[in-house]
Amino acid sequence: MRLKFGKRRAGDEGLEVTEERGMRVLHLGSRAIQSAMRVNRPWDLELAYTRAMMGFLMFNPMPQDVLMIGLGGGSLAKFIRKQRPQTHVTAVEIDPRVVAAARTHFELPPDDATLSVVEADGALYVRQHPGSADVILLDGFDAGNQVEALATQTFYAACRRVLRPGGILVVNLWGRDSEFAEYFARLTRAFDGEVGWISVQNKTNVIVFAFADPGAAARLEAMRPQLADLSKRYGLDLRGFARDFQWAEGIAPLLE
């Protein structure tokens, strides 16, 4: 695995890291960008969908344990570690090359009291760790496609069992995926309809929020007075996310 500067790419059997004009990018088997980092601001979230995934702060601004399924360049792990050192992040990644790239080229720090990177199958890990997380961040893609093992009805049900009371599963889906409607339906079934979503960049990504317990709408309303301060603290447009947030019954426009 090599880092290539400029427009040319260098690969390692489908894994590519490129850098141009101060932006470092990770690709996994396709032209789709899996992770991006501005070299002079390595802790920031450059991609809009990653910022939207942090929308869980609208519902729980103080999670104790966050479980990531899919590491990529480690952008979310680095952001949480920097902004909320009280939160422990466990990142599960099946591909050792991705872990190596994150640490070598994307400034993911070594494991410590706030970060643990586990090289394992995310689907298996979830089944083995019930009741272990307040938030799950699921971003599982391979060569530009959703990893099917991380999108089954069984897997989503297992994710719900991982969550503690009040827990939230946050899923990055491709809005134009031919299976999008089915994935969304599975999430709705697994979480008894307690599901909402944010569309990013005209449906390129749809960030789905699935809640372990009822009452998420009331939680969001209760948090609205705090969103201005939270937005400033984290450098995220949480007020905008709250404005754009839709509940499951509003999914019809995305299915057209």
pLDDT (0 to 100) of residue 9: 43
**Which residues of the chain fall below pLDDT 50?**
1-2, 5-11
In residues, how long is the chain?
256
pLDDT (0 to 100) of residue 125: 98
pLDDT (0 to 100) of residue 6: 41
pLDDT (0 to 100) of residue 167: 98
Annotated catalytic residue 139: yes
Tokens 């400029």 appear where?
6
pLDDT (0 to 100) of residue 141: 79
| Residue 238: half-sphere exposure toward Cβ, Cα within 13 Å | 23
Per-residue b or e along 150-170, where b marks 16 or more CB atoms closer than 10 Å to that residue's CB: bbeeebbebbbebbbebbbbb
pLDDT (0 to 100) of residue 43: 94
Per-residue b or e along 53-82, where b marks 16 or more CB atoms closer than 10 Å to that residue's CB: bbbbbbbbbebebbbbbbbbbbbbbbbbbe
| Structural tokens at position 26 | 């990770």
* β-bridge partners, 67: 90, 136
pTM of the predicted model, to two decimals?
0.92
Residue 11 one-letter amino acid: G
- Long-range contacts made by residues 142-149, C-beta under 8 angstroms, separation at least 24? 142/28, 142/29, 143/14, 143/28, 143/29, 143/30, 144/28, 144/29, 144/30, 144/31, 144/32, 145/177, 146/173, 146/174, 146/177, 146/179, 146/183, 147/70, 149/121, 149/122, 149/123
Catalytic residue among 12, 95, 134, 139: 139
pLDDT (0 to 100) of residue 203: 82
